[in-house]
Amino acid sequence: MSDSTILGPHSLLGGYCDDARWGLAVVRATVLEAAHPQIGAALVDNSSFVAHPWRRMRNTLLSTRRVLDADTGVRDREVARLNRLHARISGQDEQGRPYDALDAGARAWVVATLFESTLTLTRMSGESLDGPTMERLYAEFRAFLALFEGNADQLPATLNEFWPYYDDMIAQGLENTEAIRIILFRLFAHVPPPPLLRSQPAVWALGRAVAGPVAAAIIVASLPESLRRKAGLADLPGAETLSRGVHLGSGVATRVLPRSWTRTDTVLNILDSGALTGLRRRTSQAALLFRLLANDRDEAPAARSADRFFAEVLDQTGDGRLSWPDLAAMAREIATRLDLDEPAERRLYDAYADWWRELLAALDTDEDGHISRQEYAAHATTLAGPALIRVAEVLFDVADADGDQSIDAAEHRALFRTAFARDLDGTEPGRYSRGDFVREFLAFMSGQRPSTSYDALLAEA
């Protein structure tokens, strides 16, 4: 069954999406996806998950909830947006093999890994699903795939047929890809702090040094043994026991603690603002917004060096160089936040594409198709050219939802919000004129002046 009417916020899948421990299943599924040669290559070349994992997590949750929304209009709009996003991702891996984010088989594997990882999560958490419940959950995942593909033919029709397909993919369809190593070792070892701990880098670095390898070991121990052997992932002593303990503990917490404590958005909001600082932050938000809208420079953060600006803002994919996927990631973040329709989204991507061509012409001195840190540092003052001005103009147009030629408080928080569910409260004074908005954007994107707003949009992890 692939009838999309079985989906919605009250579906089994919707329940898992609202459960914070589902993050374990999503990370595990991402490793399985990364072992697929097409998906792994697309992740390495285009994804911002290494440099901006917390932002990526929030956006994934937001997108999934839109797809599961009870309003079919919201659902269809999000599916169309994601299909447009994936249509822009294609290329070749290091062996010259093509990849395409719209490949039906690869997309089916993404859904398959999420389904199987969800079952693994429930099993390792000390829960059991009866046969009809598993069948229902599988039908929901097939319906999820059908929303994007028009059908679910790439996944077997029944749960009994799914397991031979899954085993065959593990044995024949997966490889030891670079993306696996990046997720398990680079991401866990270098994940930036969540907003809650951003002001405590030493504390985060110390905790990450211990927790990073442990988190990687927990995920590795939960993977199929055949994939661990294929990818050369070591079986660390005690890792399987630790993994079972963490999963079991998460299951116990879910059953014992109040439901509101274990919701995904609750955990994300704590990571974003901190339970202890949330009240203070809320009371200061109106004043902060007023300063932003009033173009107040007095409390601006210290300016970044060219190297830091390159790493924190321009290099969205975290691969150490500036290329088209970095600018596409910026456009994608804006389009996601504003939930743009196709014409507005196309204007935004086209403007960023023009800026990329302008950057190549100005900065790519060795003509290798990307811009190194050294090339950027040597010519950084040339960034604010006509194409970047055009990006600023288009960004203003798509953010100005009511077309009144100013950015009011509601439009400001739609673009610059920093958390999944938290918005600014009340009605704040002040507006951005077109000129102020464009000047702010140009000053930030050319590295001339920092901006709290644009940091939240493009720089924060």
| Residue-wise pLDDT tens digits, 193-206 | 877 777 788 888 88
pLDDT: which is higher, 50 or 209? 209
How many domains does the chain contain in total? 2
10 Å CB burial of residue 60 (0-12, 13-18, 19+) is middle
- The reported pLDDT for the residue numbered 380 is 67
- The reported pLDDT for the residue numbered 108 is 97
Res. 28 pLDDT band, cuts 50 70 90: very high
**Does some domain include residue 198?**
yes
Residue 224 tokens read as: 């199929």
pLDDT tens digit sequence for 147-190: 999 999 999 999 999 999 999 999 999 999 999 999 998 888 88
pLDDT at 278 exceeding the cut of 50 = no
Residue 275 tokens read as: 């339970």
Range of the domain at 442: 277-459
First to last CA, the chain: 39
pLDDT at 338 exceeding the cut of 70 = yes
- The reported pLDDT for the residue numbered 284 is 40
Same domain, 354 and 238: no
CA-CA-CA-CA dihedral for 383, 385, 388, 392, to nearest 10? 120
**Does some domain include residue 90?**
yes
Same domain, 240 and 301: no
Among 38-52, 264-278, 431-445, 447-461, the minimum mean pLDDT is found in 264-278
Same domain, 357 and 222: no
**Does some domain include residue 271?**
no
pLDDT at 275 exceeding the cut of 70 = no
The mean pLDDT of 49-65, rounded to a whole number, is 84
- The reported pLDDT for the residue numbered 293 is 45
367: region left, alpha or beta (phi > 0 left; psi from -120 to 50 alpha): left
Same domain, 60 and 128: yes
- State the pTM of this model: 0.84
Same domain, 246 and 368: no
Same domain, 193 and 55: yes
pLDDT at 450 exceeding the cut of 50 = yes
**Does some domain include residue 265?**
no
**Does some domain include residue 267?**
no
Q: How many other C-beta atoms are found inside a 10 Å radius of the C-beta of residue 79?
A: 17
CATH of the domain at 300: 1.10.238.10
Average pLDDT, the chain: 85
- The reported pLDDT for the residue numbered 202 is 84
The mean pLDDT of 254-283, rounded to a whole number, is 66
pLDDT at 276 exceeding the cut of 50 = no
Same domain, 243 and 177: yes
- The reported pLDDT for the residue numbered 393 is 95
Pairing of strands 406-407, 90-92: unpaired
**Does some domain include residue 388?**
yes
Among 27-36, 306-315, 379-388, 403-412, the minimum mean pLDDT is found in 379-388
**Does some domain include residue 142?**
yes
Among 24-28, 174-178, 272-276, 302-306, the minimum mean pLDDT is found in 272-276
Same domain, 397 and 297: yes
pLDDT tens digit sequence for 385-419: 899 999 999 999 999 999 999 988 888 888 887 54
417: region left, alpha or beta (phi > 0 left; psi from -120 to 50 alpha): beta
pLDDT at 360 exceeding the cut of 80 = yes
pLDDT at 124 exceeding the cut of 50 = yes
Same domain, 231 and 336: no
Same domain, 231 and 307: no
- The reported pLDDT for the residue numbered 418 is 53
Same domain, 298 and 371: yes
The last residue of a domain, from among 224, 256, 288: 256
Same domain, 224 and 367: no
**Does some domain include residue 268?**
no
